[in-house]
């Protein structure tokens, strides 16, 4: 298919762009295969370059011969284009609708993008499983890398290489895979060097109504326990939902077969409930007519902050089991690709200082989200505006990033990265020139040959020139476990995401830049003071030597 077939009118002059809190801009609108571009001849006017894949929905209005297109983006932007001529407006609208809903992944921009920067680091090979394994293999010999899934035959959503107990062979892993949802047998997520405890993750056990068991599964997770120790199974479903799953062939671990494990249910919502929550929240944020009572009422009705609290509470529980109880844990929900990954990732941010650095956090995204099989292509296909809701969309990754921002806000000196880093990841998960977030799992990415045909996001982010905008000037390495508060008054709305297209967020950015400048100025002053102190000390030493007999 040629993109030209979908572009009925490639260029229109005298188009007026309207954005909230910005002056209107008149210019020429151009459509390419992947971008909507508005360029103005006015001096000092920023061009608009918008990826078609970032467009969530469009509305059309007509007043006489003047047509108006309202574009609603996946990053929550809303822009308006006034286009002279009804036919041109209809042609532009239908072209945008076609180009923003391409069926084939291989027609998306990452397959056509060519970087304008020098590629110093190949991001596709920055965080390989073998490299991650080496980080803790020196502290323990109880684990090994397994290549049982090298052709994705055992588990379609797992990577080719996983970390498992050394005492469990590959044949046992194949048997356990038949007992776990989607073949997702328990694998290592995190090793806590302080006490040797671990976080495992998996899919739900397929016990069914007959109480089916698998001795290889029992042996596998018991292999993670120390002598005389108990473990915890954190199920991210309510007990009622877990019991209902048995009727569909799923279920949970029976106490009789796992006597050394205590099961805890920490309910975290999923799928359409999360999507509806996002829609309600964005709708409330965009309504400028609210009085205070109505705004607070709609914010509460969205339940977004309630979901944040539920996820953080489960993550804190997991971290507490590891660090304070000295117990290993297994985490799963149903599939093990959504709420499970939220909890395992956030627990590591609480426990592991490396996860709070830029490269450590990138490694976490690779290991616990991309390689672990979070279906980005399905979950991020649509955002808060699209009218044709499907079953699989859900802001799971955005909720995770929001939780990270909450912890960053409470511990502003413990993270090497800043809020801009989290916003950038949100944007690229939904629409990007890079191939990192394409596909639903490693198997799909291999079939698409993303490493050969697209550029990794990390290749761009980790350039020295780009890192500066994502680096937190307040950062001081903190090797301690950090315990975030989950009290309601400690969990505010993330303005940087949900209100950033309002004028208020612009002022917040200016205030932040001013704060950074003050910090840098104070650092320079402190450096000068230290130099003066050394010079004074040297002078005092010389005077003392001259006065001595």
Three-state DSSP class for residue 232: strand
Across residues 349-359, what is the average pLDDT?
A: 98
pLDDT at 506 over 50: no
pLDDT (0 to 100) of residue 505: 43
Q: Determine the Cα–Cα distance for residues 526 and 530; give it in Å rounded to an integer.
A: 6
Q: What is the DSSP string of 94-122?
A: HHHHHHTT-S-GGGSGGGT---SS---S-
Mean pLDDT for 236-249 is 97
Q: Is the pLDDT of residue 474 over 80?
A: yes
Average the pLDDT over 39-55 and give the result.
88
Residue 435 has pLDDT above 90, yes or no: yes
Q: Where are the beta strands (DSSP E) in 102-230?
A: 143-146, 162-165, 187-191, 198-201
- What is the mean predicted confidence (pLDDT) over 510-518? 60
- pLDDT confidence of 516, banded at 50, 70, 90? low
Residue 98: per-residue pLDDT: 96
Work out the pLDDT band at 383, boundaries 50, 70, 90.
Answer: very high
Distance of CA 432 to the CA centre of its chain: 14
For residues 151-156, give the mean pLDDT: 97
**H/E stretch holding 233:** strand 231-235
Mode of pairing for the β-strands spanning 35-39 and 162-165: unpaired
Query: Given the structure tokens 């003066």, which residue do they identify?
Result: 532
pLDDT at 314 over 70: yes
pLDDT of residue 535: 75
CA distance 253 to 152: 26
pLDDT at 391: 80
Q: Which residues contact 498 (CB under 8 A, 6 or more apart)?
A: 76, 281, 282, 285
Instruction: State whether the Cα torsion 449-450-454-458 is positive or negative.
Output: negative
Largest CA distance in the chain: 102
**Confidence (pLDDT) at 286:** 93
Q: Is the pLDDT confidence value at 58 over 80?
A: yes
Q: What is the mean pLDDT of residues 121-142?
A: 94
What token pair was written down for 94? 């239908």
Q: Check: CB of residue 228 under 8 Å from CB of residue 272.
A: no
pLDDT at position 169: 98
436 φ/ψ angles, rounded to the nearest 5 degrees: -55, -45
Q: How far apart are CA 117 and CA 434, in angstroms?
A: 13
The answer to whether 321 and 192 have CB atoms below 8 angstroms apart is no
- The pLDDT of residue 504 is 47
* % of the chain residues with pLDDT over 90: 84
Q: At 12, is the secondary structure helix, strand, or coil? A: strand
Q: Kindly tell me if the per-residue pLDDT of 540 is higher than 80.
A: no
Give all strands (DSSP E) within 160-207, no chain letters: 162-165, 187-191, 198-201
- At 454, is the pLDDT very low, low, confident or very high (cuts 50, 70, 90)? very high
CA dist 469 and 418 (Å) reads: 8
> What is the secondary structure of 30-97 as a DSSP string?
EE-SSEEEEE-SSTT-PPEEEEGGGEEEEEEEEETTEEEEEEEETTS-EEEEEEESHHHHHHHHHHHH
pLDDT at 531 over 90: no
From 460, 366, 462, 347, select the one nearest 404 (Cα to Cα): 347
Please give the distance of CA 88 from its chain centroid, rounded to a whole number.
39
Q: How many CA atoms lie within 13 A of 449 on its CB side?
A: 4
- Angle (nearest 5°) at CA 98 between 93 and 99: 100
Strands 162-165 vs 143-146: parallel, antiparallel or unpaired: antiparallel
**Summary mean pLDDT of the chain:** 93
pLDDT in tens, 169-218: 999 999 999 999 999 999 999 999 999 999 999 999 999 999 999 999 99
pLDDT band for position 65 (50/70/90)? confident
């Amino acid at each position: 298919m040629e993109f030209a077939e979908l572009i009925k009118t490639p260029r229109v002059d005298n188009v007026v762009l309207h954005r909230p809190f910005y002056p209107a801009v008149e210019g020429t609108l151009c459509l390419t295969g992947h971008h909507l571009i508005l360029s103005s001849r006015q001096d000092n006017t920023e061009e608009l370059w918008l990826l078609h894949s970032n467009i969530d929905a469009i509305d059309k209005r007509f007043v006489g011969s003047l047509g108006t297109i309202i574009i609603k983006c996946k990053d929550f932007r809303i822009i308006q284009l006034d286009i002279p001529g009804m036919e041109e407006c209809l042609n532009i609208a239908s072209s945008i609708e076609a180009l923003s809903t391409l069926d084939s992944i291989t027609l998306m921009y990452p397959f056509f993008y060519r970087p304008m920067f020098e590629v110093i680091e190949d991001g596709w090979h920055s965080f390989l499983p073998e490299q991650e394994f080496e980080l803790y293999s020196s502290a323990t010999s109880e684990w090994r890398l397994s290549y049982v899934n090298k052709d994705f035959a055992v588990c379609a959503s797992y990577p080719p290489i996983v970390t498992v107990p050394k005492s469990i062979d590959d044949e046992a892993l194949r048997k356990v895979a038949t007992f776990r949802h989607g073949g997702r047998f328990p694998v290592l997520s995190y090793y806590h060097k302080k006490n040797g405890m671990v976080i495992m993750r998996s899919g739900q056990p397929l016990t069914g109504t007959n109480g089916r068991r698998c001795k290889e599964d029992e042996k596998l997770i018991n292999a993670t326990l120390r002598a005389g120790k108990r473990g915890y199974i954190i199920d991210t479903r309510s007990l009622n939902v877990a019991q209902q799953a048995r009727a569909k062939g799923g279920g949970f671990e029976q106490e009789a077969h796992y006597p050394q494990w205590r099961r805890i249910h920490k309910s975290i919502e999923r799928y359409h409930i999360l999507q509806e929550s996002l829609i309600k929240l964005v709708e409330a944020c965009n309504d400028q007519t609210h009085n205070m009572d109505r705004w607070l009422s709609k914010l509460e009705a969205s339940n977004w902050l309630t979901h944040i609290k539920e996820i953080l509470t489960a993550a804190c529980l997991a971290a507490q089991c590891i660090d304070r109880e000295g117990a290993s844990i297994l985490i799963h929900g149903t599939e093990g690709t959504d709420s499970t990954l939220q909890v395992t990732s956030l627990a590591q941010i609480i426990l592991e200082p490396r996860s709070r650095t830029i490269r450590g956090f990138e490694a976490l995204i690779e290991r616990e989200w991309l390689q672990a099989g979070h279906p980005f292509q399905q979950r991020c296909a649509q955002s808060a505006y699209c009218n044709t809701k499907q079953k699989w969309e859900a802001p799971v990754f955005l909720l995770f990033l929001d939780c990270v921002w909450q912890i960053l806000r409470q511990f502003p000196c413990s993270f090497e990265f800043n809020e801009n880093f989290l916003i950038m990841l949100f944007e690229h998960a939904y629409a990007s020139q890079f191939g990192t977030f394409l596909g639903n799992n490693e198997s799909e990415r291999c079939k698409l040959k993303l490493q050969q045909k697209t550029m990794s996001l990390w290749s761009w982010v980790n350039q020295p020139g780009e890192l500066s905008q994502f680096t937190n000037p307040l950062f001081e390495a903190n090797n301690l476990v950090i315990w975030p508060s989950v009290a309601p008054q400690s969990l505010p709305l993330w303005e940087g995401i949900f209100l950033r297209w309002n004028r208020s967020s612009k002022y917040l950015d200016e205030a932040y830049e001013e704060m950074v400048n003050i910090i840098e100025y104070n650092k320079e002053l402190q450096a000068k003071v230290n130099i003066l102190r050394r010079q004074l000390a040297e002078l005092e030493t010389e005077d003392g030597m001259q006065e001595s007999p």
